[in-house]
């Protein structure tokens, strides 16, 4: 009887894999996608019910993947390997998108394309810095800090160190608002002024400071009321 059950599971998995090879995830429900991802960490067990349980709790696949490893293990009985696999999904998406973006900042859209992937899967506030040379060629884009951004607590020294080490001319600062409120706080504005003035002291331009939510972004420099926070006010992208 167990053999027949294994055969049923194997046949179902083979059909799902064939479907993915031919059409990708197009037309698949979220529980089917999650079920299929879990195949690769749970080789001999039906993952359909587990996928439904996870989505019943969290609603969408993205929130499942954002759940801490220890919670997935404790509440759903996942192995460490299965829990880590789910956590790898947004991280891999970030790396994949980042590897395909344009490496030169031609306009604001190209800047956003570089910065946004760094916030995939972020459940806490994080600060990202992108550096470019005098010809607007991207040198580096990375997460440099996790936690609330403020003028006193922001990693100004790290930004300065990175700019000097890589001989950068321009710096693009960004952080996310997990609250989904896409407007700058007083702390954001104070941090912008402090970082702009500090970078100006070493001959580097803070071009803009962006705030990201899951679906929006806000450019602090684009609003005339806030543009005075930037020492070099003439730079436009």
> Which pLDDT belongs to residue 3?
47
Fold of 104-227: Cytidine Deaminase; domain 2 (3.40.140)
What is the DSSP code string of 72-89?
HHHHH---HHHHHHHHHH
Per-residue pLDDT 10s for the chain (237 aa) are 444 556 656 788 999 999 999 999 999 999 999 999 999 999 888 899 999 999 999 999 999 999 999 999 999 999 999 999 999 998 898 888 777 766 777 788 889 999 999 998 888 999 999 999 999 999 999 999 988 877 566 688 899 999 999 999 999 999 999 999 999 999 999 999 999 999 999 999 999 999 999 889 999 999 888 989 998 766 655
Q: What is the helix (H) or strand (E) element at residue 101, kind and residue range?
A: none
Q: Where are the domains of the chain?
A: 2-97, 104-227
Q: Which positions ≥6 away from 210 have C-beta within 8 Å?
A: 111, 112, 115, 172, 173, 174, 175, 217, 218, 219, 220
> Which pLDDT belongs to residue 108?
86
- Cα atoms in the Cβ-side hemisphere of radius 13 Å centred on 157: 2
> Which pLDDT belongs to residue 129?
96
């Amino acid at each position: 009887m167990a053999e027949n059950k294994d055969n049923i599971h194997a046949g179902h998995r083979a059909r799902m894999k064939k479907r993915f090879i031919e059409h990708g995830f197009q037309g698949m429900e979220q529980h089917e996608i999650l079920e299929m991802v879990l195949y690769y960490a749970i080789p001999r067990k039906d993952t359909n019910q587990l996928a439904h349980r996870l989505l019943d709790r969290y609603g969408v696949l993205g929130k499942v993947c954002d759940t801490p490893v220890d919670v997935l293990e404790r509440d759903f009985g996942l192995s460490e390997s299965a829990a880590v696999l789910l956590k790898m999904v947004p991280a891999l998406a970030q790396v994949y998108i980042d590897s395909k973006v344009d490496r030169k900042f031609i306009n604001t859209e190209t800047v956003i394309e570089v910065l946004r992937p760094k916030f995939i899967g972020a459940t806490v506030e994080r600060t990202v810095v992108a550096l470019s040379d005098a010809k607007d060629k991207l040198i580096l884009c990375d997460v440099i800090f996790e936690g609330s951004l403020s003028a006193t607590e922001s990693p100004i020294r790290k930004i300065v160190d990175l700019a000097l080490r890589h001989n950068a001319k321009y710096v693009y600062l960004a952080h996310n608002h997990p609250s989904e409120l896409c407007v700058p706080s007083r702390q954001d504005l104070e941090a912008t002024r402090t970082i702009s003035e500090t970078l100006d002291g070493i001959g580097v331009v803070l071009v803009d400071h962006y705030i990201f939510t899951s679906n929006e972004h806000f450019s602090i420099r684009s609003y005339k009321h806030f543009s005075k926070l930037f020492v070099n006010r003439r730079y436009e992208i």
